[in-house]
Amino acid sequence: MFEQLGLIGCGLMGGSFALALKRARLVKRVVGYSKSPSTTERARQMGVIDVAAPSALLAVSGADLVLIAVPVGASEATFKAIRHGITDQMLVMDVGSTKSDVIEAARRGLQDQLGAFVPAHPITGKEVAGVEHADANLYTGRQVVLTPIKATRRSNVQRATQVWTGVGAKVVTMTAEAHDSAFAAVSHLPHLLAFAFTNAITAQPDGQRFLELAGPGFRDFTRIAAGDPAMWRDVLLANRDQVLQQSQAFRAALSQFEALMSAGDAQGLEDAIAAASRVRGQWQPGAAASPD
């Protein structure tokens, strides 16, 4: 059990982590800080945190576990703000969906305290944000990817694994590069496509009419496109090289379909569609490898 969680970012992800830890009896006390005082106060009123801290540094003071649940673009400033409060006994983690940029931010921000940091990415979330939607079950049965680096203390990797397992998650370990490449393909590019696809429809003169005629399947696109704009701006820019590489692969595949349609190649088009449809039957959610 941890004596104190220093929670920086009392939103959906951070708040859910605090609630999950409390339910599992893995922490005695939660001290929280958010950039917005009203958010921190709301978290205290809900029982997500026990004490509201006036700064990130004071939130980590006295903690043995720290979770940074802020947008990836705010990572470096947060690391710098807490560096002088980090001790050798602390375990520090984040929840960012990109890892290489967060690790570089940690190198610059934490400096000689980098060994305390275990980069983490829980593969979960909701369509809505904010501490009012915090849920102790958010991590249950979900994957959490850890991307420790050479400087990370091995004991902290073990502790991080135990923490996430303790709240019901399944832990996968891989390099930051492998993580960013994978999530550019299965998460970041799909969001980019959803944003572009939705904008392409609404920009047309009859776009609103098209939307009125859309069936239930179209909801998946609008659901993905409804992501937080500032968060996804940061994610796409942080992982831009990998996302652009995946975008090129998508354009090549799209061009193949367009060529088959232009040629009137019915059999070729059917075969290409069939190849895509088989993926659903072969896909096993959560079956990621763990290249250590």
Take residue 101 and report the two structure tokens written for it.
């940029």
Q: Which domains does the chain have, with CATH numbers?
A: 2-174 (3.40.50.720), 178-282 (1.10.3660.10)
How many C-beta neighbours within 10 Å does residue 129 have? 14
Please give the full DSSP string across 185-218, using - where no structure is assigned. IIIIHHHHHHHHHHHHHHTSTTHHHHHHH--GGG
214 φ/ψ sector (left φ>0, alpha ψ -120 to 50, else beta):
beta
Residue 149's nearest CA partner among 180, 97, 103 is 103
Is 31:7 a contact under the CB 8 Å cutoff?
yes
Who's near 95: CB < 8 A, 6+ residues apart?
A: 13, 14, 17, 67, 68, 69, 120, 121, 122
pLDDT digits (tens, 9 = 90+) for 206-224: 999 999 998 888 888 888 8
Q: Could you read off the pLDDT of 194-207 as tens digits, one per residue?
A: 999 999 999 999 99
Instruction: Please list the ranges in the chain whose pLDDT falls under 50.
Output: 287-292
The DSSP line for 214-271 is: --GGGHHHHHHHTS-HHHHHHHHHHTHHHHHHHHHHHHHHHHHHHHHHHTT-HHHHHH
Residue 283: its pLDDT value, please? 67
- Strands annotated E in 71-211: 91-94, 117-118, 120-122, 143-146, 170-173
Helix (H) or strand (E) holding 6, with range, is strand 2-8
Query: How many alpha carbons lie under 13 Å from residue 165 in its C-beta half-sphere?
Result: 9
Task: Give residue-wise pLDDT tens across range 110-151.
Answer: 999 999 999 999 999 887 889 999 999 999 999 999 999 999
Q: Which helix (H) or strand (E) holds 66?
A: strand 65-68
User: What are the structure tokens assigned to 102, written together?
Assistant: 């967060």
Tokens of 177: 């590069």
